A and B are shown apart, each in its own frame.
Chain A
């Protein structure tokens, strides 16, 4: 063998050895990476289902979730370009829109059920005598954040049950601390969401009392949360979001088909780390795929009634094609 051919042979064998190594690398490169901001709550089960069932991979997308339990870094992170998609409650997203941020709804995420149980409840101390919004006037009501969906539906419930929401003092208390603050007397009522309602009633049910389902009693089958992206990104890369949402919606189908089954509870337990036995008692939301102009219009009207009014674009302009029915 001449020197030249030997060298060629070595090169060829090295090439043959390297080929299988290079192939997956090329395939991995072809995957579009999307960073999605989520919070570890039941509402994002479809996204995790789509990851676990490889629906995103089948669409050539690699989803990297960034989950923040406490802080509200989701929407600011979306504006800053740290995320391509953010899971957000509708009120916070609309407030951003009002302030001129170009958020667009790319998919529905969570909607309240038509019948109780509801994922959100108003809870008071047992024996406090408070049973309605009227009884809460002049009292302290805890919400995890002011001006979000929990707060808004809480104020609507107070209004509907005869109270003046402007005479109620709202204090911000994180969900995990609400039950203790209530039992300890620092607050008079708390606007809870699941799974915190269930854990509070389970652990301190002898001292606490649920007096209302705040969403179901004020706006059954109404908007809770969506997946949001930036208009500029959607204009430029609409096709990527078509694929993302197609896979996400397969995850929604998976979750809806698995409703009440152990595999769904296990999936939720995996990403929320909530113990499985507690999840069995927790109320789930409905998981819609689309966002309707009617639900956005209802929410803007409710927000306007409770002091969050302003100039909002027409709801139809806020819904990207992937979220249209």
Chain B
């Protein structure tokens, strides 16, 4: 209890970034209320929060968030597995890197929203397309990080394992894979943030699903409060996912941070 109070006071030190957030919220409210910004597309924050609370209690927003997250995580899981597998191949085989490298480097910088129309052509408008979008988004950061991690595994560690007669498959699972885990986690963190963005963009462009579609529908219905409610939800989701990820990361590769390195 006392610890919680202490944490709370620590969070609200005068130098805390929370104050800036609160100040911006206040500016939002005041600018809309006093007519500094006079447009139906700039409603006061209090009305946005009221719409958010109403649509959350009605169950609409929780359902939309659930469906968006389900698609995002499905894509993320598929993209992560494929990215790690391809990354291992790239890291382990110079031949693979030579043959596939140029293709990967050409495809990697393409902004995903630019290829959504052809994806609609081949994969339709529903989950298949949106999950693929999230998967492709996750694939490249995982691939590059895994390949880089594999190349960075310390030769000394492997040599020592070999000296002790550890068989190859055990070396893979007990030395190599744990050693690249911090790199994989770093790639996953990037992928997580990007996958949320691209999933929502895909929902905005096509189909009738998720937070993205809700946002556009409300924009076209002239309901700015609901539109910003969706924006707030996305901001909160992005923040929460990142915090949640850091929490998982600190626990899953505690040994890495214990060596004094910082993720």
Contact = CB atoms under 8 A, between A and B. Distances in A.
A176 B205 contact: no
Interface string B185-213: 00000000000000000001111100001
Given A69-B217, A70-B205, A273-B217, A195 B222 contact: yes
B216 interface: yes
B120 A76 contact: yes
A273 B218 contact: yes
B40 A199 contact: yes
B208 A66 contact: yes
B206 A40 contact: no
B219 interface: yes
Contacts of B16: none
Contacts of A82: 120-121, 124-125
B125 A77 contact: yes
A89 B30 CA distance: 42
Contacts of B125: 66, 73, 77, 82
Contacts of A195: 222
Contact of B222 (A66, A77, A183, A196): A196
Contacts of A68: 205-208, 216
Interface residues of A, number: 29
Contacts of B207: 66, 68
A180 B37 CA distance: 10
B205 A71 contact: yes
Contact of B205 (A73, A80, A183): A73
Interface string A204-240: 1000000000000000000000000000000000000
A274 B222 contact: yes
Interface string A188-207: 00000001100100011000
B110 interface: no
B217 A40 contact: yes
A45 to B, nearest CB: 15
Interface in B119-170: 120-121, 124-125
B120 A176 contact: no
A48 B88 CA distance: 52
A204 B124 CA distance: 40
B120 A204 contact: no
A71 B219 contact: no
A32 interface: no
Interface in A57-73: 65-71, 73
B107 to A, nearest CB: 22
A276 to B, nearest CB: 11
Interface in A221-279: 272-275, 278
B208 A65 contact: yes
B61 to A, nearest CB: 14
B101 interface: no
B223 interface: yes
Given A40-B221, A68-B208, A77-B206, 9 more contacts: A70-B216, A71-B206, A73-B206, A80-B120, A82-B124, A180-B41, A204-B40, A274-B221, A274-B223
Interface of B: 38-41, 117, 120-121, 124-125, 204-208, 213, 216-223, 226
7 contacts: A40-B217, A65-B208, A76-B121, A179-B39, A204-B39, A273-B221, A273-B223
